[in-house]
Amino acid sequence: MAIIFKPSPSLPPPVTSVGAVAWVRQNLFSSPLNIFLTLFSLYILYLLVPPVIEWAFINATWEGSSKAACTAGGACWAFIGVYFDQFMYGLYPEAETWRINLAVILLVVMVGAFAVKTINKLYLSIAILVVYPIVAYFLFAGGVFGLEVVETSLWGGLFLTVLLGVIGIVASFPLGIVLALGRRSEMPIAKSVCVVFIETIRAVPLITILFMASVMIPLFLPEGLNFNKLLRVLIGITLFSAAYMAEVVRGGLQAIPKGQYEAADAMGLTYWQSMILVILPQALKLVIPGIVNSFIALFKDTTLVYIVGMFDFLGRIQAANHDSNWLGTTIEGYAFAALIYWVICFGMSRYSMALERKLETGHKRN
Amino acid sequence: MSDNTTPSNNSFLNDAGNRALIFQILLLAMVVFAGYYLFSNLQANLDNRGISTGFSFFNEPAGFPILIHLIEYTEANTYGRAFVVALINTFVISLLGIILATIIGVIMGLARLSKNWLVARLATVYIETLRNIPLLLQMFFWYFAVLAALPAPRDSYEFADFLLNKRGIYSPNPLIQDGFGLVIFGFILSIVASIGVIIWAKKRQTRTGLWFPAYWTSLGVIVGITFIFLAMAGFPIEFDLPQKSRFNVTGGMVLPPEFVAVLVALSTYTGAFIAEIVRAGILSVNWGQTEAARSLGLRDSMTQRLIVLPQALRVIIPPLTSQYLNLAKNSSLGAAIAYPELVAVVMGTTLNQTGQAIETIGLCMLVYGSLSLSISVFMNWYNNKMSLIER
């Protein structure tokens, strides 16, 4: 009779080293310091989260047309409801707001069309960059096809914020590329002009540029020639963000190995051919995160136009906070503004990360 | 083909050098012309409006009050003095902001790398929230929503001898009495002594390899000697405590809400950016460095301090510099909540009262330009000092 060796089944690992218990032990209570930090964090969460939830949701008033409706003691979201149109469109006439909505829908459809494979990308780009701005301008300003004229002083709210941000970034992009190329150029005069421009702008805060745009530009123009404040501010924002864009693009240009420049030269390409066909496509791809970051920064910076007297999204919130019928709704206004800005900025930063992964072609050195 | 040596396209214009020259001459001409054109328009406009150029208005009485002034200032003082007051306010808020933002940034950056899951998550939430909300909105929030919601002076919150109400934070004001010179003497003596300790410890370490906790010792020396001299002089400091009355607070030292709001907003906002820089810097140090340090028998704290941190600093310093520059420039947003810094006083009130747009805006740009320049010069010096010295 042979004795067959039968190993007894292995014991399960101790409960303290697998599953939730182990996770908690490792991640929350691994040392005295960690125990203290965990308890401290829990205490802070206990102090912050329940009151905020109670204020923002449980005791909140969602509907109503005046402050009197808000009796529950929590947040008065009715305030946002009443002012919603102003926050979105500023003082744009209510009957005409469909024009803004239409322009936004148009833009979304056109950008979305990039996903359709059968559409010619070049024509689409031209349509978005050349045709669309003209159409949108006439939609916003009116004055043609029987559309009522809407003064730019009435433009405001989130509409103005997005307008400033988008035009600022789109216009500053080509300017920034030219400045970056100029800074890397071997021509001494062209180089110094670009360096002086970029460094001057980057050394001063946006506010001074905006003040310059709103106060100083009229002084530099001949008598009689003047353009409206929105355009002046837009010029200021564009020049400002072009200087930052130039530095981002320069980073990309410097990252391209010298061999690429030499190869382009060896092919007999002219300067502009080699830049447009060889260098820039590679360089710009490298700096997409940087470009998106400067767009996020610019988008947040558009709030500063409030200081020179334009009522963008934050400006309208601030104005609504001073309404004597709605005293004590300051926090609701800011919370709403913070939420919108946060969603847009955070969304863009996530999008840029996704784009970076998508464009990754595996040539990155690790 | 009779003439092979000069092909037809080898003209003057086809030479790269000549083309660059022509292009540059054209560019220069354009810049000069634009400058001349704008300047002549400016002259004409200023003449039409009867504005005289120059800084002579600096000697005229300003006639407006400035709430926060660290040097003597009244309405009767000149615009020049108002400018200096504003300049000091900008410097103070930038300097304090940089210090606080660095502390917050380092703590949050380390917290985000913490092995403690909860702490890391909280730090992430902090960083991602503050980074993605405009600074101006945050300043408004602190000023109009938080500080303005504090109770009136008579219902102030009290902690020890500090008062907190909507007029600001009140703290005891130290008043220096006779005999304080002795304490200052003691303080200087203690600093000299601690420098001596550090030099001695360094020399001993190079000679024998023995390590000595020089920095803790010198801290003890400074505190100890200063305290002994303080006791010898009979504690020559009295505190003027803030007293709350019905409508106001008398005595004490006050941090006005404008100052607190700007400082808190600037330092928490920039701190979130610095946290990301610190995190990236520490992650950039190869894990092998930590393992090597451990195998040499260094303790965890020494590994961090002697091995990881110096290498991380090389990655951290350049982007940190640009965050410091941003903070200094962003202090100009204080103008929006009436913190009397450069933009508010010079480009706001002075410009409105005198109409000297060119001078005031130019002056502000010059000041911010030099502020930026000096920060970057200092940080470049520090960067060179810390950077890898290769053979």
In B133-192, the residues whose Cβ lies within 8 Å of chain A are 133-137, 140-141, 144-145, 148-149
Half-sphere exposure of A241 (CA within 13 A, CB side): 29
Find, among A289, A97, A275, A262, the residue nearest to A185 by Cα. Answer: A275
Judged against a pLDDT cut of 80, whether residue B185 lies above it is answered with yes
pLDDT computed for residue B148 by the predictor: 79
pLDDT, tens only, A287-341:
888 888 888 999 999 999 988 888 888 888 888 888 777 777 888 889 989 999 9
In A341-360, the residues whose Cβ lies within 8 Å of chain B are 341-342, 345-346, 349
Please state which of the four CATH numbers 3.40.190.10, 1.20.1440.60, 1.10.3720.10, 3.30.450.90 is assigned to the domain occupying B79-134+257-386: 1.10.3720.10
**Complex ipTM:** 0.86
Q: Are B362 and B132 in contact (CB under 8 A)?
A: no
Domain boundaries, chain B: 14-49, 79-134+257-386
Local structure of A65: helix, strand or coil = coil
Residue B102: pLDDT band (50, 70, 90) is very high
Q: Are A100 and A90 in contact (CB under 8 A)?
A: no
What average pLDDT does this structure show over B6-15?
A: 62
pLDDT, tens only, A196-243:
888 888 888 998 898 888 888 877 877 777 778 888 899 999 999 999
B45 → closest Cβ in A28, A223, A296? A223
Closest Cα of chain A to B20: distance in Å?
Answer: 7
Chain B contact present for A34, CB below 8 A: yes
Judged against a pLDDT cut of 60, whether residue A259 lies above it is answered with yes
pLDDT, tens only, B268-293:
999 999 999 999 999 888 889 999 99
Summary mean pLDDT of chain B: 83
Chain A contact present for B22, CB below 8 A: no
What average pLDDT does this structure show over B359-373?
A: 86
Residue A3: pLDDT band (50, 70, 90) is confident
Whole-angstrom Cα distance, residue B51 to residue B379? 41
A303 → closest Cβ in B46, B134, B373? B134
What average pLDDT does this structure show over B182-192?
A: 86
Judged against a pLDDT cut of 70, whether residue B362 lies above it is answered with yes
Judged against a pLDDT cut of 70, whether residue A365 lies above it is answered with no
pLDDT computed for residue A211 by the predictor: 86
Helices (H) and strands (E) in chain A — how many of each? Answer: 17, 0
Measured between CA atoms, the residue of chain A closest to residue B371 is: A203
Residue B41: pLDDT band (50, 70, 90) is confident
Which single residue is written with the structure tokens 């059968």?
A118
Find, among A63, A88, A65, A93, the residue nearest to A77 by Cα. Answer: A63
Chain A contact present for B13, CB below 8 A: no
- CATH level 3 topology of A78-92+150-355: MetI-like fold (1.10.3720)
Summary mean pLDDT of chain A: 84
Whole-angstrom Cα distance, residue B105 to residue B108? 5
* Alpha helices (H) along A113-156: 121-126, 132-141
Give Cα A164 distance to the centre of its chain.
11
pLDDT, tens only, B230-261:
888 777 777 777 777 766 777 777 888 889 89
Interface test with A, best of B14, B53, B133, B324 (most A CBs within 10 A): B133
